[in-house]
Chains A and B, each alone.
Chain A
Amino acid sequence: MKSKIPQEIDKLMWSVAEEGSPNALTEFEQRYPEHKFELARRLTMVRELRGAKKGKSEVVVRAPRFQPRATAQPAVPSWLRAGLIAMGVVSLGAFAFVITSMSATVNPPAPAPVIQTGEPKGPEVVYMPPKQIPAKPVDQTPPVQPKTEPVEAKDALLLPTDIAVEIAPLQTVLRMVAAAGARRITILEGLGNPDIRVDFRKKAPVEILQELGKDYAFTPYDQGDGSIVIVPARDEKEPKPETASGTKPSTKIQ
């Protein structure tokens, strides 16, 4: 019914009904006779609504003596109650997180032991083909299968390895051995570079270097900083080379 009444007329009808003026009622009915019945209904509703107040007021008792209530507190709105609950949950979570973090800090998990398998983990490429004369590996050594029993972490220079080259320059082989021992290598002037053939099985890089040193007249020195210096054999009276860093004494590999 309401949808058929234009909004302006609807508002005017409410005003007339609430005002209740006979003149206004007459004017409205003359101007909008089609809404006469609707106006009468609204007039009745407004009168009954206001009359309900009058009837109700008769049952209102006298004001009792005012006594401030000790427990009177403003009712907590639902949104505030929900907010407080949410804050509580978040606080509990944060507390649990802090406790967990503190316990983790106090008792850090034991570090996982570093397990070194049979094949040493060189930092860089181990097998580099020689630049001058291509070397042909005699056999394609498959990767060493990890041992069933883990080996404790050791210096890669001391771990056995396989190095087999059909033919390659000496200095290239030395670099291969150094790489297998996880060392940088510096070869001083004076060392020859003949093509050689090597076939070392299950030998530590340090042993390989020693054997090669005996064969090709050089002495490997462990600098202690992750590098090896290859010093060609010289007269005993000549002074020994200085260390690469100059801070640590070099150690002859024995």
Chain B
Amino acid sequence: MAVVVDKQTPQGFDEDSILIDRYLSGDHGGFEDLYAKYYDKVFGIARGILLDNDEAADAVQEIFTLVYRNLVRFDRRSRFSTWLFRVAVNRSIQEARRYKYRHRQVELTEASGQTAPETIEAIDPKIESSLAKLNPADRALIVLFYWEELSLQDIAASLGCNVNAAKTRLYRARERFRILYEEEQ
């Protein structure tokens, strides 16, 4: 774990560090720039795990509020983005577990052939349905790897595990997804 993080220590110019320094020196604009820069990424992670636009938007605000309050504790041993994604993944998984009941309701709605919510229509129903049946941690792996296209090292750092563990977990999550996906066909 520590080795992975050390390898990711940024070398040379780091825009995020400059923005963080600006914020820590009292310039609130520094954080707003970080927010604008990473909003889409964080929203994508939250969206993939929560499978709901409204919940994802809400979670993103929670995530950035956590980062806003704890940025002074960021030790910069890893990239800011890695730390941010880790917060995003953990928070989104927590929220997904909290809203598990609601997700089941969505599945039932889809299965009954009724009109799906607007936010679901934008995604392939088979993919959406298969993802919804996965547990949030597996969804996080799929989303980080296939949607956010993070490397295995970045995924490992975001999940707080080593690369081999991340690789194994991704392999298993993908297998579970494949089974669910093929059942949908």
Contact = CB atoms under 8 A, between A and B. Distances in A.
Query: Are A and B part of the same complex?
Result: yes
Interface of A: 2, 11, 14, 41-42, 45-46, 48-53, 55-61, 63-64, 66-69, 72, 74-75, 77-78
Nearest to B38: A63
Given A42-B178, A60-B40, A66-B61, A53 B122 contact: no
Q: Lowest 4 A-B CB distances belong to which pairs?
A: A63-B39, A53-B147, A72-B65, A52-B127
Contact of A50 (B95, B122, B147, B178): B147
Interface residue SS majority, chain A: helix
B146 interface: yes
B142 A66 contact: no
Contacts of A69: 61-62, 65
A219 to B, nearest CB: 94
Contacts of A75: 91, 94-95, 98
Interface of B: 31-32, 35-36, 39-40, 43-44, 47-48, 53, 57, 61-62, 64-66, 68-69, 91, 94-95, 97-98, 119, 122-124, 126-128, 142, 146-147, 171, 174-175, 177-178, 181-182
Interface residue SS majority, chain B: helix
B119 A53 contact: no
A139 to B, nearest CB: 88
Nearest to B36: A63
Contacts of B128: 52
A55 B122 contact: yes
12 contacts: A14-B171, A48-B126, A51-B124, A53-B48, A60-B43, A63-B36, A63-B40, A66-B32, A68-B68, A72-B61, A72-B65, A75-B95
A58 to B, nearest CB: 6
Given A66-B35, A74-B66, A75-B98, A60 B124 contact: no
